[in-house]
Amino acid sequence: MKEKEDTVFDAFTDPEQRYRQRYVDLIVNPQVRETFLKRAILINSMRSFLNLRNYLEVETPILQPLYGGAAAKPFTTFHNTLDTTLYLRIANELYLKRLIVGGYDGVYEFSKDFRNEGMDRFHNPEFTQMELYVAYKDYEWMMNLVEEMVEKIAIDLHGTTEIQAGENRIDFKRPWKRFTMYEVIQHYTGIDITGKTERELVALAKSLNVPVNPTMGKGKIIDQIFGEKCEPNLIQPTFITDYPIEMSPLAKKHRSKEGLVERFEAICNCKEICNAFSELNDPIDQRERFEAQLELGKRGDMESMMLDEDFLRSLEFGMPPTAGMGIGIDRLTMIMTNSASIQDVLFFPQMRPEKKST
């Protein structure tokens, strides 16, 4: 009887059944238990890195009266006692910035965020981010911190900065490569998009066979071109910097480049793992950016941001120059554990309703 049971368990390899019955998956597949052990080590490594720098770990609301801090479609719910609509947070950025206004020099949070969007091997409706905000710093400083922290995580997990991710050998050793958004688009398409109008960008996207639609403003069109033509080529850890202002309504205008903001994304193994800014702390400029987002919403952009009056009020009290960063724990864990799907690094990923047998 024992041999028969082992035979059944050895065949437990169907991904859907493994995700639905994770308890069985953990019993019979020791490599799965090892993946989640490494995820815990990764989070502890990151936490210790931040705590040694005296940044404060905090908690902010998951249920929010207004959603913000990212371009995403939220989950909506209703609170009976307050008789009001609430949203599951898509990011915790605006609350963490309020704490910087309140006088903390550095705060971070490991947050469960929720986005009512598609599902694939890189996206789950519920996911984990670590967001960090540090006063009196900028995005250049934050780039140095990110590569130092991720290098440390790789060493803590593997004893080396080099890891295997699918067919790719990735090296997290500092320093990482850095390109501006316009440089990387020109490198991979041969076209300089500097100064292009929205109409010109639409025509360019179509000539490159990049799908666009009428709800997209300049920022989303540029992001679409980057995602289709550049991101798939970025294997080694790379910083993409200096984004168009239309793409980044919460980032500070670039100190020397007109029309751009001080923002970077870290791309690794063809996917974004980190997004960061020199944070916008001018309440007048921030209001104008929010109003531009409202106009995109009127055009049908379901991911445009809401106008948050209380956040604007907090900026009026005064937020010091601040560097902010969000890093995707699930995606970083995928790379660090050589996992092909986000479902492999979540104990209980979201699944379609199970079909009942008749």
Domain spanning 29-173+239-345, CATH architecture:
2-Layer Sandwich (3.30)
Tell me the C-alpha distance between 223 and 207, whole Å. Answer: 16
pTM for this one? 0.91
Give me the chain's average pLDDT, please. 93
Tokens at 237, concatenated:
């850890």
260-268/56-57 β-pairing: unpaired
Residue 11: what pLDDT?
Answer: 54
Residue 354: what pLDDT?
Answer: 85
User: What percentage of residues in the chain have a pLDDT greater than 70?
Assistant: 96
Round the CA-based radius of gyration of the chain to a whole number and report it: 21
Q: Taking the domains of the chain in order of start, what are their residue ranges? A: 29-173+239-345, 177-235
Q: How many helices (H) and strands (E) does the chain have?
A: 12, 13
Q: Residue 25 has what DSSP assignment?
A: H
* Neighbouring residues of 121: CB distance < 8 A, sequence distance ≥ 6: 340, 341, 342, 343
Residue 71: what pLDDT?
Answer: 84
Residue 10: what pLDDT?
Answer: 52
Positions of the chain with pLDDT lower than 70, given as ranges:
1-11, 357-358
